[in-house]
Amino acid sequence: MMDSTNLVGEDLQSRRKINFESEDGILSSNIDIKSLHSKIEDEAIPKIGMEFITEGEAYDFYNAYAYKIGFSIRRSKMHKDLDGRITDRIFCCSCEGHREKDKRDATVKSHRAETRFGCLARMKINSHQNSRYRVVDFVMEHTHVTSSPSKSHLHRSQRRLTLAQAAEIDLADISGITPKASYDLMARRVGGRENLGYTIVDCQNYLQSKRTIQMRLGDTGGILEYLQRMQLEDPAFVSAIQADEDDMITNIFWADGRMMADYFYFGDVVSFDTTYKKNKECRPFAMFVGVNHHKQSIIFGAALLYDETAETFAWLFDTFAKTMSGKKPKTILTDQDAAMEKALESQWPETTHRLCIWHIYQNAAKNLSGVFEKFRQFTKDFSSCIYDYDEKDEFIEAWNSMLEKYDLRDNKWLKKMFNLRENGHWYMERDIFLQT
């Protein structure tokens, strides 16, 4: 079994996107790098002829230089001798090269931000002449925008958990302190997040990976025992488990006889929700929910998931349909999650996908928090706009009036919401979001 300590000290991967625009301004690639060199110590700048004892020492030196200039680095090409020892290595800017063309370009709606710009900045070392690694090539110029100093700590190569930090995160987790609370506390102790060395996403990824790796056999046995007991009590009970390449349980789905019977009669419209989470394990708890003829909420199925990726959702939707004898809902309501949308398009293309009004309002509270705080009347006007108008023309008039009243015509989130309506994501029977 993989040791959880291997998670510490490695470069942490994160989907966090760095926004280089800030009050500090943007450092343009057209600015002479030499002017930046004049602001840092001469011994911190790579020079041909510099020597290092190990390849790792050379990497750390170039990475420290990258932090001061404002870019991220990665290990590139290398060669080894017959004994497996590295004889030369290139450390390059993370923007080196170009992304390969995506064969799905015609069908992809939202492309990832471009991260490769053919940058030539690099430092090359070799040890052909002696046991030490000598710098034999150094290119300082970049072909892209570098970040301002206040953003350097967000670069991937600059983020790393130390053993001491991992121990503190583990202790906070055992004590029931949320990752965000422990992260904020540690950031204050070191004088700011830029001095911490990792982000909140790195902290969450570490905890999630550690829990999966260290999942005890007793936990697995307990889950299987529970599912078997439920099947003895209800012969119609169905469960499905997905495991990863290491045979670790990742996703679990279950439904009993009552749930399947309810779905047979009332499963035309389903609400899918993952807003519930277990505090300790931080695993998303997902439910397929509907409404019966008494307007009562009923559950069609439930799942404990490892994460909220498109692959996980695809497995869940496929498993749900198989459990329900191949019957898929005519309409499904979800929040504005890109991974869910992608999975639904691939697994249930014939199912109409709509947005749940409750999630819409929650997202509005997040994206328009400043407007809600500044204008007390906005809450009433926004709610009225969403709930009170049945006719399309009346809604558009009220929507435009709200934008004009609060000077929100250029608000990107509201524009996106209105475009979703144009693309058919609003329930057209009422010309407003479907209410559940």
pTM higher than 0.85, yes or no?
Answer: no
Could you please state the CATH topology (level 3) that the domain comprising 217-355 is classified under. Nucleotidyltransferase; domain 5 (3.30.420)
Condensed to tens digits (0 to 9), the pLDDT of residues 1-55 reads 444 444 555 444 443 444 444 344 334 444 567 778 888 888 899 999 999 999 9
Cβ-contact 165, 171 below 8 angstroms: no
> Where is mean pLDDT largest: 19-23, 43-47, 273-277, 305-309?
43-47
Pairing type for strands 331-334 and 352-355 reads: parallel
Q: Cα–Cα distance between 94 and 119 in angstroms, integer? A: 8
Q: SS3 sequence, 331-370? A: EEEECCCHHHHHHHHHHCCCCEEEECHHHHHHHHHHHCHH
The domain locations on the chain are 31-98+115-158, 160-212, 217-355, 358-423
> Which amino acid is residue 109, in one-letter code?
K
Would you tell me the crossing angle of helices 163-174 and 200-213 to the nearest 10 degrees? 70
pLDDT digits (tens, 9 = 90+) for 133-155: 999 999 988 888 788 777 888 88
State which of 146-155, 157-166, 207-216 shows the largest mean pLDDT. Answer: 157-166
Look at 390 and 179; give whichever has higher pLDDT. Answer: 179
